[in-house]
Amino acid sequence: MHAYVYKSQRKADTYVYLRERENFDLLPAPLRERLGALSYVLEVTLSPERRLAKEDPAIVRANLADRGFHIQFPPDEHTRADA
């Protein structure tokens, strides 16, 4: 499965994975408004062996299959303080 990753220009450290390149209509309108402009980052193949730095690839694949998108939010402040 391929995913196209975009970075939110409005929300720091927030990334959007789409199953179709530049198909922002997969995102609900209120979410698109919250995220603001999205900048293309990369294309990634999400095979079962693939590891991601901050996300569980199985969850990303499931969300892409079910919804067409996955949102990677930044860690909360508590998590950042512990890192």
Instruction: Kindly report the average pLDDT of the chain as a whole number.
Output: 90
Q: Is the dihedral of CA 4, 70, 27, 2 positive or negative?
A: positive
CATH of the domain at 28: 3.10.510.20
Q: Domains in the chain: how many in total?
A: 1
Confidence of residue 4 (pLDDT cuts 50, 70, 90): very high
pLDDT in tens, 41-74: 999 999 888 898 889 999 999 999 999 999 999 9
- Rounded Cα distance, 76 and 18, in Å: 23
Confidence of residue 7 (pLDDT cuts 50, 70, 90): very high
- Rounded Cα distance, 6 and 42, in Å: 7
Confidence of residue 78 (pLDDT cuts 50, 70, 90): very low
In a domain, 82, yes or no: no
- State which residues form the domain around 65: 2-38+55-76
Confidence of residue 32 (pLDDT cuts 50, 70, 90): very high
In a domain, 67, yes or no: yes
Q: Percentage of residues in the chain with pLDDT exceeding 90?
A: 76
